[in-house]
Structure 1
Amino acid sequence: MEQHGKDEPAVLDVVVTTMASDSHTWNLVFLQLLLEELGHRVTNLGGCVPDELLVAECRRIDPDLIVLSSVNGHGFHDGLRLIAALRACTELAGTATVIGGKLGIDGPGDPARQRELLAAGFDGVFEEGGSVVEFRSFVDSLPAGIGSLPSGTRSLPAGTRSLPAGSGALR
């Protein structure tokens, strides 16, 4: 049955990956399946991806969204280094980029850690134990083709939101 008056959901090109120090892959499989279930095209770069390779692959793919996932507790430090590399690349400076998982060894929900990651350039922070619903809501709010827009012209979800500790944070 055809429905009239409803917008088709945007189909995004998404890259999911860990960082150079993180060899975990089941988190990436979960994210890939979740995003594909939502109708998006996903490129899974796998575990232990060197920064240079991640940047090069994202330049080649030109994704609408980059999702960095960490399980080993080093996501905060690795994420700060990686977001600097992504934002320094002209082609990726405006690409929506989020980080999530176990970002530190002292447990989830550190508001200072979330603020620092957002200030460094992440568009969303989703720590372990956070809500998949909030992540889905963020993804659903992104328009398709945003990755190919010039830096400074993309339009992410309006406003700044902070979520309760442990449930993630959106910029």
Structure 2
Amino acid sequence: MKNLVLLSGTASDSHTWNLVYLQLLLEEQGYRVVNLGACVPPALLADECEAEQPDLVVLSSVNGHGYRDGERALAELRSRPGTAAVPVVIGGKLGTGGPEPLRAERLRAAGFAEVFDDDTAITRFLAFVAAQSLCRTAGTVS
């Protein structure tokens, strides 16, 4: 069994189909997934991250406010010692005007391990999570 992935929508995003899709996609790749659902406030995300100790946090947004919501979620995660080092990625429709490379770079500079906001998002996302394939239970590379 591969890494534990904590999957979450952003605070202002009530969409769930994207989360179900990502959960199934990750599970098909052998990852264990805890799906927190939609409209997850940053404090709850950080609380769950502390409790679950995931190997990766995946934030997904389709309402166009992911750039803004992502910054808040990451700031909360980085403010806590127990979640400060966990890799966090974000993807989906993060802006109302489509992909915004400068805002994506700002998210990376803030500490996101990767930002997936364009036509290559799913392909790049799958490659990214495949590269994170350390086996959690055995402590060996799988």
Q: TM-score, normalised by structure 2?
A: 0.91
Match of 1:123 in 2: 113
Match of 1:52 in 2: 43
Structure 2: runs of 5 or more not aligned: 137-142
Q: TM-score, normalised by structure 1?
A: 0.76
Query: In the alignment, is the contact (CA less than 8 A) between 1:64 and 1:144 conserved in 2?
Result: no
Match of 1:41 in 2: 32
Q: Report how many residues are paired.
A: 135
Structure 1: runs of 5 or more not aligned: 1-9, 146-171
CA distance in 2, matches of 1:87, 1:112: 22
The root-mean-square deviation of aligned C-alpha atoms, in Å, is 1.2
Q: Which has the higher contact order (CA 8 A, sep 6+)?
A: 2
Higher helix share: 2
Paired-residue identity, %:
53
Is 1:136 equivalent to 2:104 in the alignment?
no
Which runs of 4 or more aligned residues in structure 1 lie more than 4 Å from their structure 2 counterparts after TM superposition? none
CA distance in 2, matches of 1:87, 1:28: 23
Match of 1:70 in 2: 61
Cα deviation, 1:52-110, whole Å, max 9, x if unaligned, reads 111101100000000000010000001011111111111111111100001111112x2
